Amino acid sequence: MTLLFQCEGDTDGSMLQALRAALPEQQIRRWPDEVGRRDEIEQAVVWMPPEDFFDGLTHLTHIHLLAAGADQLLSHPGLPPSASLLRLEDAGMGDRMAEYVLYGVLHAQRRFGDLAEASRARRWARDIAVPPATEHRVGILGAGVLATLVARRLVANGYPVACWSRSEKSLPDGIRGYVGKQGLVSMLPHIDTLVCLLPLTEATHGILSAELFAKLRPGAYLINCARGGHLCETDLTAALDAGQLTGALLDVFQREPLPQAHPFWQDPRITVTPHLAAPSPVAGSIEQVAANVRAIACGGELSGIVDRSRGY
HEC-encoded secondary structure of 163-177:
EEECCCCCCCCCEEE
Q: Which residues are catalytic?
A: 227, 275
CA–CA separation, 254 and 242 (whole Å): 23
CA–CA separation, 121 and 186 (whole Å): 39
The predicted pLDDT at position 39 comes to: 96
CA–CA separation, 235 and 222 (whole Å): 12
The predicted pLDDT at position 281 comes to: 87
Q: Mapping DSSP to helix (H, G, I), strand (E, B) and coil, where does residue 237 land?
A: helix
Reported as type and span, the H/E element at residue 289 is helix 282-298
Is pLDDT above 80 for 73? Answer: yes
H and E: helices and strands count for the chain:
9, 12
Is pLDDT above 80 for 161? Answer: yes
Reported as type and span, the H/E element at residue 5 is strand 2-7
Backbone angles phi, psi at 280, to 5 degrees: -80, 115
Is pLDDT above 90 for 91? Answer: no
The predicted pLDDT at position 9 comes to: 87
DSSP string for residues in 61-105: -EEEESSS--HHHHT-TT--TTSEEE--S-TTHHHHHHHHHHHHH
The predicted pLDDT at position 180 comes to: 97
Model confidence over 93-120: pLDDT tens digits?
A: 999 999 999 999 999 999 999 999 999 9
Position 280 confidence tier, pLDDT thresholds 50, 70, 90: confident
